[in-house]
Amino acid sequence: MPNSLFYIIPIVAIALTAWHFNKKEGEEMEEDPPEDSLGDVSRKIMTLLDTTKKKFGDKYFHVKLAVTLPALLQLINQAEASRSSDTKSPRDEIYSKAGKTATAKELDGLGGYLDFADWAYLASRDEIKKKLAGRGYSLLKHQEARESGQVGYFIATNADTKTALIGVKGTSSMIDVLTDCCSAAVVRKLDQSFDPQDESLKEIRAHEGILYSSLALAEDLKPFIKEFFLPLGYTLLLCGHSLGAGAASLTSVLLRSQHPPLMKKGNIKVVAFASPPVLDHKAAKACSSFITTIVNNSDCIPRTSLNNVQILLELLSGIQEKLVEAGFDPVDMKSTSAFFAKLREGAAGEMIMSSEEGLKLLKKAQTMVSHDDPDHLYIAGEVMLLYQKWQDRRKMSKGKEAESEEKAADEIVPEPKLPGYCVLTDGFAEPLSMIEISNEMVGDHLCGSHRIIIDSL
């Protein structure tokens, strides 16, 4: 296996799993990429392979993913099993301390913004038009993605509030998945700085695939902005989920650079749900006045970055050292037998390292990654980190299992309602500086999961 391919296995596997679950949720998904898109698929993968090869070389090639990933999952399960459901989880401590608690005013309207992002997935123009009319908006344009590398979107206006709404369609095909996860950072020179307070932001580093989608969207929006929205004093509101969130974020940066009036406070706003990492550290931080990114619990997509892959590999490297020390590294018949026997112990077995050692190893790995590394990308702007407490989720999971066993197979088990929490932070916060391995890391990405927790806030 080429060493560069080794590095992207975790990130591509996570993204493909998310795509699979998106299909199950019922969104219209393309089963296979058309033949004329296969070259684009190959190019995206090769770009990321080249980036990882240059970045890491052979540094982590000694890590045995097939061994260390199961060992990591076992450690997580063992840590959960050993902790009382009434004991505060270190994970919850990390989340609660990541920022300040959001106020009711700051959370106001979040459900409505999610609706706008969700409606961008709809294929029917008439259905979108009807839903928007219920919120006082008139549909101006509905555009499906014309070719690979572009995003679908709708444009609508509310004459009473003088708001121009752009809903950007999210991940709905294999091509979109690869655009999400193949996050090579490329340099883009802007017309002018998108931040009037910092002239150095005439140049950004951005997610390559989403940048190309955003350039096309910004070009499509140009006549509407110049001839309609700006002359009539309309403010712009961009909403999107997943790929659509990333495209909405980068498009707003491009538009501020191209149209100076949009740099005035309040003239453009982005609400991005579950965005992939799209901007370098400095640019992502500079977007806090006009971009709000929402991250739900352990959602894997906002964490699918090269920096988090490095942190994961550092963690797995430490686990491998422990396996070697304990004689569980499968290099011969004896050690292979010992390794599988260890895995068969499940959550009840003795841990190869304590929870405290694991957290210490994670923090050490996080300190090794520089925010200013030019290849590292982050989600943009202010971040609303939504979460439910670990012990609540654990109780819910156990309760659902028990109810499912008691009820008939054709009966629907109602979803328990859990209290939700929200802290305001940024894309560099500790909970986002790791790929959080959990049973919900894919489900947390879906629009439906966002709606459940928003309704509980």
Give the pLDDT score at 55.
74
User: Per-residue pLDDT for 386 more than 90?
Assistant: yes
3-state secondary structure of 274: coil
DSSP label of 55: H
- Return phi, psi of residue 382, to 5°: -75, 145
3-state secondary structure of 378: strand
Lowest mean pLDDT segment, chosen from 19-28, 145-154, 268-277: 19-28
Percent of the chain predicted with pLDDT > 90? 61
Lowest mean pLDDT segment, chosen from 137-151, 180-194, 253-267, 425-439: 180-194
- Kindly state the average pLDDT of the residues 355-371: 91
Give the pLDDT score at 253.
98
Looking at domain 90-301+378-457, its CATH class is alpha beta
3-state secondary structure of 188: strand
Q: What is the pLDDT of residues 341-353, one digit of tens each?
A: 999 999 999 999 9
Q: How confident is the model at residue 387 (pLDDT cuts 50, 70, 90)?
A: very high
How buried is 70 (Cβ within 10 angstroms: 0-12 exposed, 13-18 middle, 19+ buried)? middle
End-to-end Cα distance, the chain: 47
Alpha helix (H) ranges present in 238-300? Answer: 243-258, 281-286
How buried is 251 (Cβ within 10 angstroms: 0-12 exposed, 13-18 middle, 19+ buried)? buried
